[in-house]
Amino acid sequence: MNTDKNTLAYAQQLDQNDPLAAMREHFAIPKQPDGTDEYYFTGNSLGLQPKLARAAVIELLDAWQKRGVKGHFEGEFPWLPYHEFLTEQAAELVGALPKEVVMMNSLTANLHFMMASFYQPTEQRAKILIEDHAFPSDHYAVESQLKHHNKNVDDNLLLWAPRANEELLNYDDLWQLIEQHGDEIALILLPGVQYYTGQVLDMARITEIAHAKGIKVGFDLAHAAGNIELSLHQWQVDFACWCSYKYLNSGAGSVAGCFVHQRHVENTELNRFAGWWGHDKSSRFKMENNFKAIPSAEGWQLSNPPVLSLAAVRGSFDTITLAGGMPALRKKSLLLTDYLIELLSAQLGDKIRIITPKNAAERGCQLSLMVNDTGIDGKAMFNALEAKGVTTDWREPNVIRVAPVPLYNSFQDIYHFVSILKECL
């Protein structure tokens, strides 16, 4: 066996021994002008198309053509209960009970609906704590919730920021914020995985410490769902929301997911924005005006969901199931990022700085790279990679995000990426 990790032969051996190598054939891989596959490392922004997702959408279009309105009730996957076909797999992906999850709406819309229930400010408790470099949409949503409740943003928005000249969040600073303001904080809303650095947060510990102070806790899992193993029910998280088009590969803008803990879903009197799809199923079509919430996460639904999008989600979930679910994906993911870290260190030394934590428990698929040599323009290097068939992701002010996804990326992809990066440098 070739033991030199810096050779193509070594990468080929890793692929030969990879039990998930064949999963790549279940995806449509974008092509370069010469017809060869792109080196695609942007699953953290938009996952590639699973062939089963395409098949499920075409199947639904055919049913619409054949059955018209009767498609709501006929066929193997009738549209009326279509979201229910996704519940078991969604629950497995995030470590939840089936009654705690539902696929509905989009990510930021779901965050607003959750805050309608879980941000109920009082005179004493009105503050919301987020991270300083939160994804802009989350920041906008939180600020608008504060304004909706006539709360001054400057007085009631707490920011957990990295320390000076550091990129990663430090937990001691968070614990200090909670200790200092705990009696004033109504809600903590944080990412499961920080989008810029790729840092995985300790959601279990954050929830435990916040709950001890009487604070509700929610997570944006856009970069966590389908990336790392989650145990939302066990961690006692109050709510969580995620999109389905990154690591869950269901297409741009596809239907998002939502988790509400069991202790809340059974409280049908909990404040919420209501719509008819969240109403008791047995009496929904009696068309009465007395709202009766479904005692599950489904009780937060508003409208009947877009089934074409749900079909793509079903195909993508079935693909993940074929791969063996999150335990199998996480195992390969760590091997891929370990290999990438080793090659970057061996071949590029201190020219590239990885700001994502090296500790396996604190990273997912994504590694965020900074160019250390001040004589090199990072954005120009990103463009040079693109010109050579490498699709990565640029985030201002100076990070290239690289995400080897275990469902479709290979060890040879990583070998070639590092070789091309070295050329570009």
Is 80 exceeded by the pLDDT of residue 2? no
User: Which tens digits make up the pLDDT trace of 182-232?
Assistant: 999 999 999 999 999 999 999 999 999 999 999 999 999 999 999 999 999
Task: State the residue for tokens 């508003």.
Answer: 302
* Cis peptide preceding 136, ω within 30 of 0: no
Integer CA distances (angstroms), 287 to 94, 97, 282, 290, 359, in order: 34, 30, 11, 9, 54
pLDDT at 374: 64
Structure tokens at 419: 């070789």
**Between 325-348 and 411-424, two packed helices, what is the crossing angle to 10 degrees?**
30
3-state secondary structure of 282: coil
Contact of 284 with 18, CB cutoff 8 Å:
no
How many CB atoms are located within 10 Å of the residue 314 CB? 26
3-state secondary structure of 240: strand
Contact of 315 with 244, CB cutoff 8 Å:
no
Kindly give, in sequence order, each residue whose CB lies less than 8 Å from that of residue 145, ignoring residues fewer than 6 positions away: 112, 115, 119, 128
Name the nearest CA neighbour of 425 among 357, 331, 352: 352
Over residues 48-60, mean pLDDT: 98
Please count the CA atoms within 13 angstroms of the CA of 40 that sit on its side-chain side. Answer: 24
Q: Across the chain, what does the average pLDDT equal? A: 96
Residues in the chain: 425
pLDDT at 3: 77
pLDDT at 351: 87
* DSSP string for 48-109: PEEHHHHHHHHHHHHHHHHHGGGGGTSSSS-STTGGGGGHHHHHHHHT--GGGEEE-S-HHH
User: Which tens digits make up the pLDDT trace of 156-178?
Assistant: 999 999 999 999 999 999 999 99
| CA dihedral sign of residues 51, 54, 58, 63 | positive
Integer CA distances (angstroms), 417 to 37, 110, 186, 234, 392, in order: 13, 36, 45, 38, 10
Task: State the residue for tokens 């957990």.
Answer: 160
Contact of 94 with 230, CB cutoff 8 Å:
yes
Burial class of residue 403, CB neighbours in 10 A (0-12, 13-18, 19+): buried
pLDDT at 48: 98
Name the nearest CA neighbour of 418 among 407, 405, 402: 402
Contact of 223 with 237, CB cutoff 8 Å:
no
Per the confidence metrics, is the pTM higher than 0.75? yes
pLDDT at 1: 59
Enumerate domains of the chain plus CATH numbers: 8-49+325-424 (3.90.1150.10), 58-321 (3.40.640.10)
pLDDT at 376: 76
Distance CA 186, CA 107 (A): 21
Over residues 118-124, mean pLDDT: 96
Distance CA 70, CA 344 (A): 56
Kindly give, in sequence order, each residue whose CB lies less than 8 Å from that of residue 161, ignoring residues fewer than 6 positions away: 131, 132, 133, 169, 173
Name the nearest CA neighbour of 423 among 374, 371, 388, 380: 388
3-state secondary structure of 395: strand
pLDDT at 132: 95
Structure tokens at 35: 């017809």
Name the nearest CA neighbour of 417 among 392, 380, 383, 393: 392
| Cα distance from N-terminal residue to C-terminal residue, the chain | 31
Kindly give, in sequence order, each residue whose CB lies less than 8 Å from that of residue 348, ignoring residues fewer than 6 positions away: 418, 421, 422, 425
User: Which tens digits make up the pLDDT trace of 266-277?
Assistant: 999 999 999 999
User: Which tens digits make up the pLDDT trace of 135-147?
Assistant: 999 999 999 999 9
Structure tokens at 265: 């879903």
Over residues 99-106, mean pLDDT: 98
Of 8-22, 39-53, 234-248, 376-390, the least confident: 376-390
